[in-house]
Amino acid sequence: MADDQTSWAAFAAKSPTVAGEGRRLLAGGTTGDGGDTGHAFLVTVRGADIPPRIHPVTVGFVGDGLYTFVLRSAKRTDLEEDGRYAVHAMLDSDVPGEFSVRGRAHRVDDPATRAAAVAAWPFEADESYDLYEFSIEHALLGERASADEWPPRYTSWAA
């Protein structure tokens, strides 16, 4: 990741409560052989006059980063051409809480990082998948004591 980007680890060091709850909400589904993964919505953009696209994806924590694997698709084109993204955790009525992050996604070419991610992933990510790491520029956590409490209490973090 470029020096001017905030990794998940750097975000977690600066805002441990928000990052901890965010990780719990994002990785609420499955565990592979070395990292926590879950399902989320990925929003990608490409240019100012093209509407954003929303894609369901698997996201995961491997080492100090937040990642996703992407096949050749519109979302991969968007990430390559623009890089801006937003990720929003799936909502679970039994676990009230909201979490989203936004920033820039960067393709990861390092073989060791890719191997660690492949080992941690809940599905087979072969060579047709590109690995992307998400830098964190902004995070938003919405907390509720119960599913009936509204509105959530929001905590925001920015790099």
Give DSSP secondary structure letters for 33-89: SSSEEEEEEEEE--STTS--EEEEEEEEEETTEEEEEE-SSHHHHHHHHT-EEEEEE
Whole-prediction pTM value?
0.90
CATH number assigned to the domain with residue range 8-158, chosen from the 4 options 3.10.310.10, 3.90.550.10, 2.30.110.10, 3.30.70.120: 2.30.110.10
φ, ψ of residue 93 in degrees (nearest 5): -65, -25
In tens, the pLDDT along 146-158 reads 888 888 899 999 9
Q: Are 115 and 69 in contact (CB under 8 A)?
A: no
Above 70 in pLDDT, residue 136? yes
Handedness of CA 152, 57, 44, 80 (dihedral sign): positive
Domain extent listing, the chain? 8-158
DSSP state of 137: S
